[in-house]
């Protein structure tokens, strides 16, 4: 009889679709059935425009509960879990089903695993109690699937045994992205520039969800300073979310700033190829891997909002950190990169080399190995 592993996800973002499709296929080869349960995105999540459906998944309607300023989520998934041999959930205090599942794990009724960062990298000082709770709950699951080495250190430091942690090396489908690059000619890129009124050659790109922690105002103010020094400089802002209005307004007021709604998979590739750098001063996530796969170096700052994927960035090799977190220091970094051709070539080479180490195939392989080990134990 096939073992059943259930993933419960709040909703399915675009970048996770290929992961689940490949994971299901690889688990089936090992005699393991993957059950995927996911919810409908809430209003803020929908504004990002990055959600998808998966045919084999079970779609549920999450219930949003407000307690003061906190938003809790109830996922009505319990009835689908009766014959699951292993349940993998996102590590998040606001997911109420996790408390029930962790109690069942404590009673040895279910094997429950966390998948996540180990902590909230974007928490504020007001979230200290929430982070203390998360730190305690870290220890009360059967197994951990951590994003990468940085997350592994966090979970292990919280007291969870290392022998029950799988580092999945969180990734996207970098292989397919890199292979698609050759399908774009210089003529194709020039046509995209003409269609969108992009006239400069010193082009920078922001791409991703637009929300407060991304600090779009900081980015745009930095680029104003760059524009004064580099007249040929232009900025592409691509994405959606609660603060997309900042990007839209800036594009309307400045002909050298261009706004694009969210684009995914192959649709985003030419905008990376047009750009010399990806600019994301705060809250860097999986865009780090887009940067590697497409050879467009990422420029950021040392800040507490960056996700665990920032661990992949090696300053001066495959990306660059500003010396500080001020607008002037970040704009200076951009100017330095755009005026130093040797530095550009060096970092681009580093991106191409780093892309070889991170892939969705590697991530799925690590997940499959961890799941097999977890079921055996």
Quick one: 191 and 126 in the same domain?
A: no
Quick one: 7 and 41 in the same domain?
A: yes
**Which residues on neighbouring strands pair with residue 257, listed in sequence order?**
235
Q: Which two tokens stand for residue 68?
A: 């003061």
Give the global pTM: 0.87
Q: Contact, 118 vs 138, CB < 8 A?
A: yes
Q: What is the pLDDT of residues 22-44, one digit of tens each?
A: 999 999 999 999 999 999 988 87
The total of structural domains in the chain comes to 2
Q: Contact, 86 vs 5, CB < 8 A?
A: yes
Quick one: 372 and 325 in the same domain?
A: no
Quick one: 159 and 247 in the same domain?
A: no
Quick one: 152 and 244 in the same domain?
A: no
Residue 175 CB-half CA count within 13 A: 9
Quick one: 350 and 237 in the same domain?
A: yes
Quick one: 167 and 201 in the same domain?
A: no
Quick one: 142 and 242 in the same domain?
A: no
Quick one: 102 and 60 in the same domain?
A: yes
Q: Which two tokens stand for residue 88?
A: 């993998």
Quick one: 87 and 159 in the same domain?
A: yes
pLDDT at 126: 45
| Phi/psi at 256 (5° precision) | -90, 0
Quick one: 192 and 243 in the same domain?
A: yes
CATH of the domain at 233: 3.40.50.2000
Q: What is the pLDDT of residues 254-301, one digit of tens each?
A: 999 999 999 988 999 999 999 999 999 999 999 999 999 999 999 999
CA–CA distance, 272 with 295 (Å, rounded to integer) = 8
Nearest one of 200, 210, 199, 185 to 260, comparing CA atoms: 210
* Residue 55 lies in domain: 3-171+359-376
Q: Which two tokens stand for residue 176?
A: 């397919």
Within its chain, how far is the Cα of 340 from the centroid? 29
CA–CA distance, 37 with 12 (Å, rounded to integer) = 10
Q: Which two tokens stand for residue 299?
A: 């420029």
Q: What is the pLDDT of residues 182-212, one digit of tens each?
A: 999 999 999 999 999 999 999 999 999 999 9
Per-chain mean pLDDT for the chain: 93
Q: Which residue has the tokens 């495959």?
A: 318
CA–CA distance, 83 with 67 (Å, rounded to integer) = 33
Quick one: 196 and 321 in the same domain?
A: yes
| Phi/psi at 101 (5° precision) | -65, -35
CA–CA distance, 348 with 177 (Å, rounded to integer) = 16
CA–CA distance, 88 with 5 (Å, rounded to integer) = 8
């Amino acid at each position: 009889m096939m073992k059943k592993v259930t993933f419960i996800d709040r909703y399915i973002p675009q970048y996770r679709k290929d992961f689940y499709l490949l994971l299901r296929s690889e688990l089936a080869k090992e005699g393991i059935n993957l059950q995927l349960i996911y919810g409908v995105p809430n209003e803020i999540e929908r504004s990002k425009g990055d959600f998808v459906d998966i045919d084999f998944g079970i779609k549920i309607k999450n219930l949003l509960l407000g307690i003061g300023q906190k938003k809790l989520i109830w996922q009505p998934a319990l009835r689908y879990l009766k014959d699951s041999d292993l349940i993998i959930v996102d590590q998040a205090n606001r997911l109420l089903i996790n408390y029930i599942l962790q109690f069942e794990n404590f009673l040895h009724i279910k094997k429950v695993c966390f998948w996540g960062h180990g902590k909230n990298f974007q928490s504020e000082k007001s979230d200290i109690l929430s982070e203390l709770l998360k730190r305690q709950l870290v220890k009360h699951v059967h197994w951990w699937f951590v994003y990468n080495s940085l997350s592994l250190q966090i979970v292990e430091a919280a007291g969870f045994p290392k022998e029950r942690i799988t580092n999945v090396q969180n990734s996207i489908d970098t292989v397919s992205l890199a292979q698609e690059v050759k399908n774009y000619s210089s003529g194709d890129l020039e046509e995209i520039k003409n269609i969108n009124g992009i006239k400069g050659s010193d082009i920078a790109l922001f791409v991703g969800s637009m929300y407060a922690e991304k600090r779009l105002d900081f980015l745009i103010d930095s680029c104003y300073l760059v524009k004064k020094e580099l007249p040929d400089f232009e900025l592409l802002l691509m994405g959606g979310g609660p603060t997309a209005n900042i990007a839209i307004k800036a594009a309307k007021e400045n002909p050298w700033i261009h706004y694009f709604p969210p684009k995914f998979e192959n649709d985003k590739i030419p905008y990376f190829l047009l750009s010399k750098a990806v600019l994301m001063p705060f809250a860097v996530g999986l865009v780090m891997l887009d940067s590697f796969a497409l050879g467009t170096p990422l420029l950021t700052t040392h800040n507490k909002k960056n996700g665990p994927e920032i661990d992949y960035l090696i300053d001066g090799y495959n990306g660059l950190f500003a010396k500080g977190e001020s607008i002037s220091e970040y704009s200076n970094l951009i100017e330095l990169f755009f005026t130093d051709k040797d530095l550009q070539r060096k970092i681009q080479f580093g991106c191409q080399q780093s892309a070889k180490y991170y892939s969705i195939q590697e991530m799925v392989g690590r997940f499959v190995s961890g799941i097999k080990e977890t079921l055996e134990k």
